[in-house]
Each structure stands twice: as structure tokens, then as C-alpha cells.
């Protein structure tokens, strides 16, 4: 899962992972962040590089770049001082400049390892939910395996790129999901990302999750609701709110106007030709509460 920073990518991916675990699947939720959200989303949980249990059937790890690189190099080279020299230095930044996307290949390699783990005759994980880097980085990450295969014909990077290319390209195994809010910048960025990925790679996005979608309060009584918002009297509504009537009207006018704006951006997002899913706006402040409510929403039939 990817998305522009600030749209709730971590929240939505965590909600999907929790839901998957609730259904009984052994689930791994992977963050890739220097400032992980997991500690806010789950109580009594501290994100770390090593695998930790979060709750029944759910495990988590924060795949930070630095330890992932060190781990990868130590496996690849078996020479500790070279490993440290490459990993602990700005050198790696230079290498990723020379080979854009290398910094995401290595964490992806770690996921590839987790995918291959077995538990007896069973796969170790039924599902892995990856809270991947934000949109800008995601494009470099998705471009990388094929670009690397064009540039490097043999060696470690080529082998790993080939494996990851297979996984990303297999739609029965992997779903690419973008998360967006229904606002100008996120919608533009999401549409651009999907267009670029579809043009430049053989991978396909499976869905866009629209996050923080405002509620449709009017539903089958939209005309009546609109009329009241515009100032018309309505005995039942006015009776219900009494002295609060004007405050409620002002509040809901704002919400309705925002909702309609969201609907226009939703229509725009429709042009990406990828199935759209919705995650509602949750009127709570604490992230753990928001996650809990969102999981309940996802659990509805």
C-alpha cells in the first residue's frame, strides 16, 4: 500500500492487517518508516525492526532501511567490515543515487524472505500487508526491479530484482493498493502514480482506497435535507434540535459542502480505471480509537 504523506496510509493498512488477522489468517504488518505510526495505532506496542506479536494472529515489524541494509550485506558478503563500511556510511546514499530505487530493493528483499518462510508444509504467513513508502518513493521502488534488470545482468542485485519482479507482477499473489484522500494534491498525485506505474512497468494497481470520506447524511431524503440546509423550515427537524437548530445547520452545511467537494474529486479519481474503495471519516482524535472504528467498518458485510 502506498499513498501521499498524510492521507492515512498507515491507518488504512493497519486496519486491513487487523481485519485479516481477525478472520484467522496469520498476518504480518510491515511498516517502512523512520517515524513509525504503529505505536500510536496499537496500545502497548513499540515498533521495532525485529518481528513482534501485536495481537492474536497479527505480527508487525518496522523495516527500517539501515538495519535492512546491514542484514542484507552481511548475508551477501559475509565480511563484517565491508558490510559496516558500506552500510554505515553515506556511500549507500551514493549508490542509491547511481541506481535509483536500490534503497527499496533491499527492504523488498526482506519481504521476499518472509514470503518464502515455511511452517512445516504451510507457508509461515497467510498475508503480508506492506505499508510502503509514500507516492514519490513508491514509483522509484516499483520501477527498480525492471530498471535494474536492464542495467545489471548478473550478480546479487540482478538475482534479487528478478525474484521481486516475479512477485510484484503476479496479480494472484500481490495487490498494489493506493490510499488517497479526496482532495486536490492527493488525488493528482495518486492519479499520476498509477498512470506512471501502468505505463512504465508491467505491474497493475488493484484498488484505490479513498480515506476520510465524509458521510452522506441525506441518503434517500437528500432533497429534504438540502432544503433544510438552505434555510427552509422542517417541523420534524426543527422540533428535534430546538434551540440548537442554527448551530446544527451551520455545522452540517459545512460538512455537506465538504462532502460535495470530495465527490467531485472522487469523480476525477474515477478516470484512473482502478476499482475504488472507501474508508469513512472517523470523528475521533486518538489514532487507536480511529483504527478500532475503521476495523469495525471494514468488518461490516
Partner 1 sequence: MIDALVRQQRILIVGGSGGVGKTSISAALGVAAAQAGYNTLVLTIDPARRLAAALGLDGIGPEAVDITPALAEHGLEVPGQLHAMMLDVQNTLDRAVERYAPSPERRDQILANRLYRNISTRLSGSQEYASMQRLHEIATSGAYDRIVLDTPPTTHALDFLTAPERLKAFFDSSLIKVFINFGGRAGRGIFRVSDVLFKALNRLTGANVIRDIGEFFQVAESILEPFSEQAEQAQALLRQPETSFVVVTGPYPHQLDEAGEFQSRLSAMQIRVGALVVNRWLAPLGPEKPELPDAVAASALEDRMAYWASALEGQAHEQTQAIDQLEEETDIPVIRLPELDTDIHSIEGLTELQWRLRADPHR
Binding site for partner 1 (CB under 8 A): 4-7, 35, 40, 76-77, 79, 81-82, 85-86, 89-91, 93-95, 97-100, 102, 134, 151-152, 155-157, 183-185, 188, 215, 217-219, 221, 224-225, 236-237, 240-241, 244, 247-248, 250-255, 257-258, 261, 283, 285-287
Instruction: Identify whether the C-beta of residue 144 lies closer than 8 Å to the C-beta of residue 102.
Output: yes
Pick between residue 174 and residue 253 the one whose CB is nearest to partner 1.
253
Distance, in Å, from the CA atom of 210 to the CA atom of 262, rounded to the nearest integer, reads 10
Q: DSSP code of 207? A: E
Residue 205: name the closest of 234, 178, 233 by CA.
Answer: 178
CB of 213 to partner 1, least distance (A): 13
DSSP codes, 55-95: ETTEEEEE--HHHHHHHHHHHHH--HHHHHHHHTSTHHHHH
Pick between residue 86 and residue 206 the one whose CB is nearest to partner 1.
86
- Contacts for 231 with CB less than 8 Å, ≥ 6 apart: 249
Residue 140 is placed in which grid cell? Answer: 522509484
Distance, in Å, from the CA atom of 105 to the CA atom of 152, rounded to the nearest integer, reads 14
Pick between residue 128 and residue 210 the one whose CB is nearest to partner 1.
210
Instruction: Identify whether the C-beta of residue 215 lies closer than 8 Å to the C-beta of residue 280.
Output: yes
Pick between residue 204 and residue 278 the one whose CB is nearest to partner 1.
278
Pick between residue 78 and residue 118 the one whose CB is nearest to partner 1.
78
CB of 126 to partner 1, least distance (A): 30
Pick between residue 46 and residue 117 the one whose CB is nearest to partner 1.
46
Pick between residue 48 and residue 253 the one whose CB is nearest to partner 1.
253
Distance, in Å, from the CA atom of 146 to the CA atom of 166, rounded to the nearest integer, reads 10
Q: DSSP code of 153? A: -
Other CB atoms closer than 10 Å to residue 178's CB: what's the count? 30
Residue 173 is placed in which grid cell? Answer: 499473489
273: phi then psi, degrees, rounded to nearest 5: 60, 35
Amino acid at each position: 500500500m502506498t499513498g501521499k504523506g498524510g492521507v492515512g496510509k498507515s491507518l488504512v493498512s493497519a486496519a486491513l492487517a487487523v481485519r485479516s488477522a481477525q478472520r484467522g489468517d496469520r498476518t504480518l504488518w510491515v511498516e517502512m518508516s523512520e517515524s513509525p505510526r504503529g505505536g500510536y495505532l496499537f496500545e502497548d506496542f513499540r515498533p521495532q525492526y525485529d518481528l513482534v506479536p501485536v495481537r492474536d494472529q497479527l505480527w508487525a515489524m518496522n523495516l527500517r532501511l539501515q538495519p535492512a541494509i546491514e542484514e542484507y550485506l552481511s548475508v551477501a558478503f559475509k565480511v563484517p567490515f565491508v558490510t559496516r563500511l558500506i552500510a554505515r556510511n553515506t556511500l549507500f546514499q551514493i549508490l542509491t543515487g547511481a541506481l535509483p530505487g536500490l534503497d527499496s530493493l533491499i527492504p523488498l528483499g526482506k519481504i521476499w524472505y518472509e514470503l518464502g518462510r515455511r511452517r512445516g508444509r504451510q507457508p509461515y504467513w497467510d498475508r503480508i500487508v506492506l505499508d510502503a513508502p509514500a507516492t514519490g518513493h513508491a514509483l522509484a521502488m516499483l520501477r527498480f526491479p525492471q530498471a535494474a534488470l536492464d542495467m545489471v545482468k548478473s550478480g546479487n542485485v540482478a538475482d534479487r530484482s528478478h525474484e521481486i519482479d516475479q512477485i510484484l507482477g503476479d496479480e494472484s499473489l500481490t495487490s498494489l493498493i493506493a490510499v488517497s484522500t479526496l482532495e486536490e494534491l492527493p488525488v493528482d498525485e495518486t492519479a499520476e502514480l498509477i498512470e506512471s506505474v501502468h505505463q512504465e512497468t508491467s505491474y497493475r494497481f488493484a484498488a484505490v482506497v479513498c480515506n476520510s470520506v465524509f458521510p452522506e447524511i441525506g441518503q434517500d431524503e437528500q432533497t429534504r435535507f438540502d432544503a433544510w440546509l438552505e434555510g427552509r423550515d422542517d417541523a420534524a427537524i426543527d422540533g428535534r434540535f430546538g434551540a440548537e437548530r442554527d448551530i446544527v445547520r451551520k455545522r452540517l452545511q459545512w460538512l455537506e459542502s465538504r462532502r460535495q467537494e470530495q465527490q467531485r474529486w472522487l469523480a476525477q479519481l474515477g478516470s484512473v480505471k482502478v476499482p475504488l474503495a472507501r474508508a469513512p471519516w472517523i470523528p475521533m482524535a486518538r489514532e487507536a480509537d480511529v483504527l478500532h472504528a475503521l476495523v469495525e467498518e471494514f468488518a461490516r458485510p
